[in-house]
Amino acid sequence: MKDWLKDLPKVELHLHIEGSLEPELMFALAERNGISLPYASVDEVRAAYDFNDLQSFLNLYYQGMAVLRTADDFHDLAIDYFRRAQAEGVVHVELSFDPQAHLSRGIGFDVQMEGLTRAMRHAEREWGLSTALIMSFLRDQPAEDALAVLEQAEPYLELIDAVGLDSAESGNPPSKFAEVFARAKSLGLPRVAHAGEEGPASYIREALNLLDVCRIDHGVRCLEDSDLVARLRDAQIPLTVCPLSNVRLKVVERIQDHPLPTLLEAGLKITLNSDDPAYFGGGVLDNYLVCEQAFGWDRPTFVSLARNAIEVAFMEEGRRQVLLARLDEFPTSA
């Protein structure tokens, strides 16, 4: 099954590129930029990745990304991830990035965009990996800051496929960003948002009603509101679920307790993703594998999850049809 899952053409819709920073690269970039790290070794970094909740992770996530300073750093970060992703059978990656987390450190928007888009072009050329870029706003920062970033992004809109909303969820409801997302919509940008990861089901409702999002990142807490589940099912709103992340951030205690089987039984449009693979113990393939081990899903179930992701990805229609055809031909008998 492992080889079969590896070969299955998989699409990643929920990936924070800063969360793909492996400790080895963190050390290499720290050295390149003359930055000293609060860790003596790669093993010490990994040992620190023991989280109680989303905030305890975010503290290390923002600390770790301080090694990213130049366009080459952003490029190398993304290339490092694309190389691993394509080797585990990922055929399309939608990477989100947090411009405010870099602007606040004095790293220009142009620097971030140059590095990331150069890596995206390289991935397409070198590995035939298609990519899309999601610019995320930090919900624990003022909405005015998000509006200012959106303004700064205007010369780059051709290169940005969607906007998102991430960082500390509790106490930062989607309603705070209604104006920002309305502006993004007026600029023709599709919208996604983290909701119902640590925050309540009502945040998912707000994201749909006030931000007009086409996908919900995480969304696992929708199960606390049966009317919302019915709405998500009827409209087939995709949820980008990240099982390993939910375990590591203690959204669920154990993978066996994860609501994924219930979400599937409810008829929701579910996709499997990695979120922050360097921090949560694995990429897309590992997330598929852990579900296979915990839930014993069969091959057609994994094919339908992979198909969901292709169907709702920000990709050219021609590319979508090619990938759907590949999936249709993919063998499902053992």
Ligand X SMILES: Nc1ncnc2[nH]cnc12
Q: How far is CA 24 from CA 38, 43, 70, 72, in A?
A: 14, 10, 18, 16
Nearer to Zn ion, 61 or 181 (CB): 61
Nearer to ligand X, 8 or 291 (CB): 291
* CA dist., res. 228 & res. 72, Å (int): 44
Binding to Zn ion in span 82-101, by CB under 5 A? none
Active site residue 253: no
Alpha helix (H) residue ranges in the chain: 2-7, 23-32, 42-48, 54-64, 71-87, 99-103, 109-127, 143-153, 178-186, 201-210, 226-235, 243-248, 260-265, 277-280, 284-295, 299-312, 317-328
CA contacts within 13 A on the Cβ side of 77:
35
92 is in an annotated binding site: no
Binding to Zn ion in span 237-296, by CB under 5 A? 275
194 is in an annotated binding site: yes
14 is in an annotated binding site: yes
Give the one entry of ligand X, Zn ion, none that residue 292 binds, where binding means its C-beta sits below a cut-off of 5 to 8 angstroms depending on kind.
none
Give the one entry of Zn ion, ligand X, none that residue 177 binds, where binding means its C-beta sits below a cut-off of 5 to 8 angstroms depending on kind.
none
Least separation, in Å, of the C-beta of 123 and ligand X? 21
Residue from 18, 22, 197, 206 carrying the catalytic annotation:
197
**SS3 sequence, 268-333?**
CEEEECCECHHHHCCCHHHHHHHHHHHHCCCHHHHHHHHHHHHHHCCCCHHHHHHHHHHHHCCCCC
Hey, what are 233's tokens?
């099912």
Least separation, in Å, of the C-beta of 155 and Zn ion? 27
258 is in an annotated binding site: no
Go through the chain and tell me how many residues it has.
334
Which residue's C-beta sits nearest to Zn ion?
275
Give the residues across from 191 on adjacent strands.
163
Least separation, in Å, of the C-beta of 8 and Zn ion? 22
List residues binding ligand X (CB under 6 A). Answer: 16, 19, 54, 61, 166-167, 194, 197, 245, 275-276
Least separation, in Å, of the C-beta of 318 and Zn ion? 29
Kindly report the CA angle at 137 between 132 and 140, in degrees rounded to 5?
Answer: 150
Least separation, in Å, of the C-beta of 128 and Zn ion? 26
For residue 38, the SS3 value is: coil
Nearer to ligand X, 20 or 130 (CB): 20
Give the one entry of ligand X, Zn ion, none that residue 19 binds, where binding means its C-beta sits below a cut-off of 5 to 8 angstroms depending on kind.
ligand X
Binding to Zn ion in span 192-221, by CB under 5 A? none
Give the one entry of Zn ion, ligand X, none that residue 206 binds, where binding means its C-beta sits below a cut-off of 5 to 8 angstroms depending on kind.
none
Q: Which residues are catalytic?
A: 197
Residue ranges for the known binding site for Zn(2+) are: 14, 16, 194, 275
> Which residue ranges make up the site for Zn ion (CB under 5 A)?
275
**Binding-site annotation: residue ranges:** 14, 16, 194, 275-276
